[in-house]
Structure 1
Amino acid sequence: MPARMRQSARPRQKAHDRTVPKQASEGPGESEARFRAIAELSGDWYWEQDANHRFTWAFVRGDSAEAVSSIIGKTRWELGEEPLNGTWEEHRRLLDARQPFSEFQVRLVDESGAEHFFSSTGVPTFDSEGVFTGYRGLARRITRRKRAEQLLWLEHTVARSVTEAGSVAAALKAVIRTVCEAEDWECGRFFRVDDEAGALRFAEAWSKPGPQLDLYIERSRKLAYIPGVGLAGKVWQSGEPMWVADIARDARVWQQAIAIEAGMHGAFVFPVNSGGKMIGVLAFNSSEIREPDEHLMQAIHVIGAQIGQFVQRKQAEEVLRESEERFRNLTELSSDWYWEQDETFRFTMVSDNLHRRLGPLTQSVIGKTRWELPTLNMTEADWTAHRALLQAHQPFRDLQWHRLDNAGKLQIASISGKPIFDSDGRFRGYRGIGRDITESKQSGEALLRFRASMDMSDDMILLVDRKTMRFIDVNETVCRNLGYSREEFLAMTTEDILPITRKELETAYDEMIATGSTQGMRSEYRCKDGSKLPFESRRRVMRSGDSWIIVVTARDIRERIAQEEALRKSNERFDMAVRATNDVIWDWDLATDEIWWNENFTKVFGNPRDAADRTIKSWYEGIHPDDQGRVIAGVHRVIGAGGEYWSDEYRFRRHDGSFVHVLDRGQVILDGAGRAVRMIGAMADISSRKQAEERIHNQALRQRLIAEFGQQAFASSDVEDVLSRAVELVTVALKADYCSVLEFDESAK
């Protein structure tokens, strides 16, 4: 429905035109007030169409009657709208079939280039004789919702592009292209902050094909912005996004000639931040004059933060990699960090290398023993053996220590140490080295991507270390469903949430490791509040270094169990009802015209169950010819008019060719859209009742004739008349087709 429809407008129509809705004959009083009340209460627009699907009337608040009248006499597909959930051909087929429709969404671009989205719902209308007269329905504006969906899709696409990119340049180009294609910008450029030079310098760009745009990008490579100069410089200075409808008319634009030569008009510039610091500016340009989009300006903060975090992290990783490369080139045999402990095995110092790795967490190490720190791979038995070695003041080598860093990334260190003695030979503690033996940086990034995908999943994902049977990671869905935090899970084993022994799980996991198989499981998790959460899961194994990790993907099946139980009870009640009744129960699928009969179909009509026709044709053909037209028309009239109940009495053929009087009743079943999809009913044999009614009728008739005959016999002297009444009485009483009176001739021989 176009945005311009805001008031009611109804053209006059001829009195004999049957397509005019009933309301057309009413005056502007009661009818107009009723429709206005509907529109105001529902917040929707009311419309009507004739039998040719052309608008005959519309009621929308706000616009002029001239604007609304511009659609009168037109079909929906003549208004320039673009259907979103289907095609016009599909929609017209539905209308030609006189079917109701709901949530039919269209897109309309107005003269200013702005997008509008609408959703319509309509139902067919029929006159008192069942003749189709058109459609009526409601429409509502969904532009705000659609715009929100577009921007949410854009945020997710940007996040995915950033996650999948292997470098800063690839990520920036992918993000710029995504924004340009999604929001219809011709080109986008990223200018990074050069702290040493105090300027913004060109870093990356993407544009649609074309020589003008190629030249525009090439000239942008030489540009440098200082704070407050040009749009990029002003955004850098203020930290706020800027939108310029036409840069050709804006004095704040620097190097304006370059943009004008490329045919640029609209511009959108916004900051890219990371950790509270601006690291660059993104600028997008369009060849069209574009008014500000407030929704995009709000959503761009999220996009800018995503880009900023990725760029900052990548740059930090590159710096760290270069530093590590130089360090390895200088001393390949040196340790990553150095540490010391006192005689109670508590850390007293760590080297700067560990400070750079742990940051503020370094202080949490000082004063603690190694077994007081969070680890993922060491069991209590492992720590007991390690403490015994330390208490014996023995050196140790290559003790593996697994932990998760702040980003949830698995870190593995190899620790070696030897005891320290003073000049008097007294034990003073330990000193040693630690070395990072985590797999390649690439595998670490893959783990981060896995973490992001885990937390976005609606399924529960749990990672279990086979050696310790402890959880080494879980996603947000697990925490939300079971009530534990991720930190609590990392201190738990599988026994804490499963009604299965550790030995049974270890046996199953070892079988999976040996065979490489994937196993399914259906059980219940114990939640933190003591409740049970039923689930179905798939389990597979994954190697991680020298260890095995069990990856569990589980799904909450509480809703499915409830639905299955409700269906089971419903089926039980239906089966009990079917078995308890003597009626013939039937179920008609209106889409396929297939019909199901219960066993009473065989008992009542004598039809062999295996030979019964399963189509509605079998029912039609079983109806007595004198009743067939009336019955079929009646049931289809109820369905077509949207009725709910139908009943009729008629004669139905038995297998031996005789007919049985039946009382048939049915109920129409509708789907969520209000369409008739099934009809369920019961057919009762009323032959006994019909026979009783006929006997009563015949007895009453005979009694009346006898009474009349008696009165006439006494009152009449005409023998012929008396005999005529007697013949009539005998004919009715005996249901005879022919009756004669023979007179006895005594003289005859």
Structure 2
Amino acid sequence: MTVRKVKHSVQYERLFYDHPIPMWIYEKDTLHFLSVNNAAVNKYGYSRREFLQLTIKDIRDPGELKYLMNNIKDRCDGVDYRGIWKHRQKDGTEFFVELYAHSVTYRGKEARFIMAKDVDDQVKAANKATEQGSRYEVLAQTTNDAIYDRNLLTGEIAWNHGLSTIFHHHNAKANDNLHWWKDNIHPEDSQKVVNMMENAMLNKQHYWSAEYRFRCADGTYKYISDRASITYNGTVAVRMIGIIQDIDNHVRQAKKLEEQNRTLKEITWINSHEIRRPVVSILSIAQLFDVNNKDAQFNAQLMDWLHQSTLQLDEIIHKIEKKAREIHNDV
């Protein structure tokens, strides 16, 4: 909107006062408000009479007054202006506006015509995104974990140094797409992990996590923990920022302990079941011996049975020793 000369007419008054965006005219020399519209009165909380007793400095953040005065000095000499500033309502609430300014003559005075569009939500959203981006950059540089930023529309992935630190993959161009990530998941885990991720996005979940095996540059696999935040544009998933942690040692140690526990259970079962049979046989045979040896043939049969039971006991003892060595070798 370009206003070079304000005409006092009914048509202008109606357009100015009833416009939905806050507008005002202030005197260039004194900075006093000369006229304000209804939207400005509603937005800033001052009555029209109160407004006409204020200057434009009264609706500004005091910390920005120095910059305001410099801006007026540099840009208010007949120059059109557009910029974003922080304004303040009567109750002290601050918000961001985008100002559109033009020089005019109003009631014989050099003045500036201002339109103030509320852009508070947009500015705060942009600031938040910038802050989050800065935190992401700091985290990406300081952690040993693999940080990724995945564009779910194009499939492109940006990695920090963790990809080479953990998995020793160094070719950035080969590693920057979704297909590469899928191809390096362990074949036994791949379909499950991909399905979990697709289901999370289908159900509009904002957080996703999975544990799976991922291939290193040398062809071996590591157990990893993958946790991510998913961003949506409406109903469409557009971005996934995640962190991959190396949990290989923890998982393998847990599996080793699991195996050791299984072996100990086997030893316990052998002790309580298998070893009992030859021991009972030996005790029973010992009670049948003819101590006077009147029936030598019977005693000989008992000796043979005793020998067989002893061999069975020895075999079971060797089995226990083997299991015990397995546990010792795993420690």
Task: Answer whether TM exceeds 0.5 for this pair.
Answer: yes
TM-score range, shorter chain: 0.5 to 0.7
Counterparts of 2:249 and 2:71, CA distance in 1? 72
Instruction: Give yes or no for contact 2:87–2:94 (8 Å, CA) kept in 1.
Output: yes
Counterparts of 1:613 and 1:648, CA distance in 2? 20
Counterparts of 2:145 and 2:169, CA distance in 1? 15
- 1:631 matched to which residue of 2? 193
Instruction: Give yes or no for contact 1:599–1:609 (8 Å, CA) kept in 2.
Output: no
Helix, strand or coil for the counterpart of 1:650? strand
Over 3 Å counting, the alpha-carbon distance change for 1:546 and 1:602 in structure 2 is same
Which amino acid letter does the alignment assign opposite residue 475 of structure 1?
Answer: N
Counterparts of 2:221 and 2:90, CA distance in 1? 68
- 1:254 matched to which residue of 2? none
> What are the equivalent positions in structure 2 for 1:30-179 lying under 5 Å apart?
none
Give me the identity figure in percent. Answer: 24
- 1:508 matched to which residue of 2? 73
Counterparts of 1:668 and 1:530, CA distance in 2? 36
Taking only aligned residues, the RMSD between alpha carbons, in angstroms, comes to: 4.9
Bigger RCO (CA 8 Å, 6+ sep): 2
Query: Which residues of structure 2 form unaligned runs of 5+?
Result: 279-306
Counterparts of 1:645 and 1:530, CA distance in 2? 38
Are 2:253 and 1:692 equivalent residues in the alignment? yes
- 2:104 matched to which residue of 1? 542
Higher helix share: 2
- 2:215 matched to which residue of 1? 653
- 2:36 matched to which residue of 1? 474
Instruction: Give yes or no for contact 1:451–1:475 (8 Å, CA) kept in 2.
Output: no
Instruction: Give yes or no for contact 1:467–1:547 (8 Å, CA) kept in 2.
Output: no
- 1:453 matched to which residue of 2? 15
Q: Deviations over 1:529-570 (max 9, x none)?
A: 566565442322235697533222223444445445554665
Counterparts of 1:589 and 1:546, CA distance in 2? 58
Instruction: Give yes or no for contact 2:144–2:165 (8 Å, CA) kept in 1.
Output: no
Instruction: Give yes or no for contact 1:650–1:661 (8 Å, CA) kept in 2.
Output: yes
Displacement of 1:648 in angstroms is 4.0
Counterparts of 1:645 and 1:526, CA distance in 2? 38
> What are the equivalent positions in structure 2 for 1:320-469 lying under 5 Å apart?
444=7, 448-466=10-28, 469=31
Displacement of 1:591 in angstroms is 2.8
Over 3 Å counting, the alpha-carbon distance change for 1:692 and 1:451 in structure 2 is same
Displacement of 1:524 in angstroms is 4.9
Helix, strand or coil for the counterpart of 1:459? coil
Instruction: Give yes or no for contact 1:461–1:474 (8 Å, CA) kept in 2.
Output: yes
Over 3 Å counting, the alpha-carbon distance change for 1:567 and 1:629 in structure 2 is closer
Counterparts of 1:491 and 1:683, CA distance in 2? 60
Over 3 Å counting, the alpha-carbon distance change for 1:569 and 1:641 in structure 2 is closer
Over 3 Å counting, the alpha-carbon distance change for 1:649 and 1:562 in structure 2 is closer
Counterparts of 1:478 and 1:492, CA distance in 2? 13
Instruction: Give yes or no for contact 2:22–2:115 (8 Å, CA) kept in 1.
Output: yes
Normalised by the length of structure 2, the TM-score is 0.60
Say how many residue pairs are matched: 281
Normalised by the length of structure 1, the TM-score is 0.31
- 2:163 matched to which residue of 1? 601
- 1:551 matched to which residue of 2? 113
> What are the equivalent positions in structure 2 for 1:200-349 lying under 5 Å apart?
none
Counterparts of 2:14 and 2:181, CA distance in 1? 59
Counterparts of 1:546 and 1:693, CA distance in 2? 86
Q: Structure 1 residues 645-654 or 696-705, which shifts more?
A: 696-705
Helix, strand or coil for the counterpart of 2:252? helix
Q: Deviations over 1:558-602 (max 9, x none)?
A: 444544555466556666776786543444443333334444333
Counterparts of 1:649 and 1:547, CA distance in 2? 72
Over 3 Å counting, the alpha-carbon distance change for 1:644 and 1:716 in structure 2 is farther
Counterparts of 1:644 and 1:527, CA distance in 2? 36
Counterparts of 2:93 and 2:200, CA distance in 1? 49
Are 2:224 and 1:662 equivalent residues in the alignment? yes
Q: Deviations over 1:194-232 (max 9, x none)?
A: xxxxxxxxxxxxxxxxxxxxxxxxxxxxxxxxxxxxxxx
Helix, strand or coil for the counterpart of 2:212? strand
Displacement of 1:687 in angstroms is 1.7
Displacement of 1:700 in angstroms is 6.1
Over 3 Å counting, the alpha-carbon distance change for 1:645 and 1:465 in structure 2 is closer
